[in-house]
Amino acid sequence: MTAMTVTTTTTEAPAVATRKLSYVKAFNEGLAQAMREDENVFVAGEDVAGYGGVFRMFDNLLDEFGPRRMIDTPISEAALVGLGVGAAARGLRPVVDLMFMDFIGVCLDQIVNQAAKMKYMFGGALSVPLTITTASGAGLGAAAQHSQSLEAWLAHVPGLKVVMPSDAYTAKGLTVAAIRDDNPVVVMLNKVLLGSTGEVPEEIYGIPLGQAHTARQGSDVTVIALGRMVGEALAAADELAAEGVEIEVIDPRTVQPLDTETMFASVRRTNRVLVVHEAVTFGGLGAEIAAQIQDVVFDYLDAPVLRIGAPFSPVPFSPVLEKAYVPDRARIAQGCRRLLERS
């Protein structure tokens, strides 16, 4: 098997100084820089100003930007997102924070029926440059109402964009790009990754939305991994490399719009593909990706597209159950071996 191992996290980074920064600080820095860049950017949400966000996502922003641009709101997600929609329709660039992604259930109308459709139904008369930030994912023992990855719900809605930062570099770059984008964008930060560190450029940069990133090149299996699963896939790739198997890891970064061309090109070379995400397998992005792959590059497949996701159950609380629930590097490696199995 051809050995071509390039692990990168900063390939698009401009040639400037980088330093190690945590995922949450990278997000915070990108947000602060975007606020400095554009006076129309403000942040509204529960405990975002005075407290700095329950995950310290908004630390120190009140000090710099003051209460005019850092707004603590009541626990009213529908009104919060609606405030963002109305303000965006009137030319501002709101960043509204939903704290936990699970809470979108109480404001889906404003996201799905209002923010996403406004431009379309208004005949293009306006744009809704709204950014919704939220923390997703299991792994912290937060149980079923505070641990979900619901990207498939949102990616299903025309008019929305959805990004899933997989490391510190993307946490900053995708957040900046989301704020600069003229559409409603949901930024799905991952709770487990908040403290993880990576090289992050000091200056402001946006990562193009809708462009997948090949996090590792390989010739044997394409692994398409969302959010936190990118790191797990890279770890699985290291493990498999020791067995002489070269895994290509694709990080879509944006799940809506989805860069399928990068996936198709990879599958044409590897002929085997695995999609992994934290969300439940049924009806997840893996189903969409698998469908598109069979539609376009069916004739290049040597094995059925394999999906790895969570079982069809709420996220369990007890750590032993939660560990069994969330896909990990071992399951990814096992899936790759299964795809490559020959007698």
Partner 1 sequence: MAQRASTASKKSPQAGSQAGPQISPLVIKDLHERMVRIRLFETEAGKLMEAGKLPGFLHLYVGQEAVAAGVMAALRDDDQITSTHRGHGHAVAKGVGFREMYAELYGRVTGACLGRGGSMHINDLTRGMLGANGIVGAGVPIAVGAAFAARYKGEDNVAVTFFGDGATNIGAWHEGANMAAILGLPVIFVCENNGYAEFTPQSAHMLITDVADRAAAYGMPSVIVDGMDAVAVHRAAAEAVERARSGAGPMMIEAKTYRFFDHQGVKGLRHPYRSDEEVAEWKTRDPIDLIEARAVADGTATRTELDDVWQRTRDEIAAAIAYAEASPLPDPADLLLNVYSG
Partner 2 sequence: MTDVAVEVLLPKIGLTMQEGTIDEWLVSTGAAVAEGDALLRLATDKVDVDVEAEAGGLFHPVVPAGVTLPAGALIGWLLAEGEQPPDPGGTPMPAGSGSSAATAAEPAPTGGAAGATAVPDLGGGAGTGVLPALTGTGEGLGAAAVPSAVGAGCRLLASPNARRVAAAADIDVTAVRGTGRGGRIVSEDVEEFLAALPDIPIALAPPGGTPTSPLVRKLAKERDIDLSAVNGTGPGGRIRRSDLDAVTPAPVRRNAAAPQPGDVIPLTGMRGTIARRMHASLQEMAQLTHGYEVRMDAVVSLRDRLKEEWADSTLAVPSLGDFLLKAAALALREHPLLNATVREDGIHLLDGIHLGFAVAVPGGLMVPVIEDAVTLSLPEIARRSKALAQAAREGRISPAQLEGATFTVTSLGGYGVDFFTPVINPGNVAILGVGRLRDGVEWVDDRPLRTRVLTLSLTFDHRAVDGAPAAEYLRTVGELLSKPLRLLV
- Angle between helix axes 285-297 and 260-270 (nearest 10 degrees) is 60
Report the residue number, 31 or 157, with the smaller CB distance to partner 1: 157
Confirm whether 39 is a catalytic residue: no
- Chain residues that interact with partner 2, rule: CB under 8 A: 271, 298-303, 338-339, 341-343
Member of 45, 82, 173, 201 binding partner 1 (CB under 8 A): 82
Please tell me the distance from the alpha carbon of residue 74 to that of residue 250, in angstroms, as a whole number: 39
Please tell me the distance from the alpha carbon of residue 273 to that of residue 306, in angstroms, as a whole number: 6
Q: How far is the CB of 249 from partner 2 (least distance, A)?
A: 21
Member of 21, 83, 224, 237 binding partner 1 (CB under 8 A): 83
CB atoms within 10 A of CB 342: 4
Q: How far is the CB of 90 from partner 2 (least distance, A)?
A: 52
Cα-based distances in Å from 119 to 128, 182, 183, 185, 335:
7, 10, 9, 14, 42
Q: How far is the CB of 86 from partner 2 (least distance, A)?
A: 50
Q: Does 161 bind partner 1 (CB under 8 A)?
A: yes
Cα-based distances in Å from 100 to 13, 133, 173, 175:
29, 9, 21, 17
Candidates 40, 98, 90; CA nearest to 69 is: 40
* Residue 300 binding: pick among partner 2, partner 1, none (C-beta 5-8 Å cut-off by kind): partner 2
CB atoms within 10 A of CB 7: 11
Select which of 29, 46, 146, 248 is catalytic: 146
Q: Does 79 bind partner 1 (CB under 8 A)?
A: yes
Three state DSSP letters for 151-164: HHHHHCCCCCEEEC
Member of 30, 159, 309, 316 binding partner 1 (CB under 8 A): 159
* Residue 97 binding: pick among partner 2, partner 1, none (C-beta 5-8 Å cut-off by kind): none
Cα-based distances in Å from 230 to 134, 248, 287, 316:
19, 11, 18, 22
User: What residues between 124 and 153 interact with partner 1 by CB under 8 A?
Assistant: 124-129
Report the residue number, 136 or 271, with the smaller CB distance to partner 2: 271
* Residue 211 binding: pick among partner 2, partner 1, none (C-beta 5-8 Å cut-off by kind): none
Q: Does 65 bind partner 1 (CB under 8 A)?
A: no
Confirm whether 199 is a catalytic residue: no
Q: Which residues are catalytic?
A: 77, 146
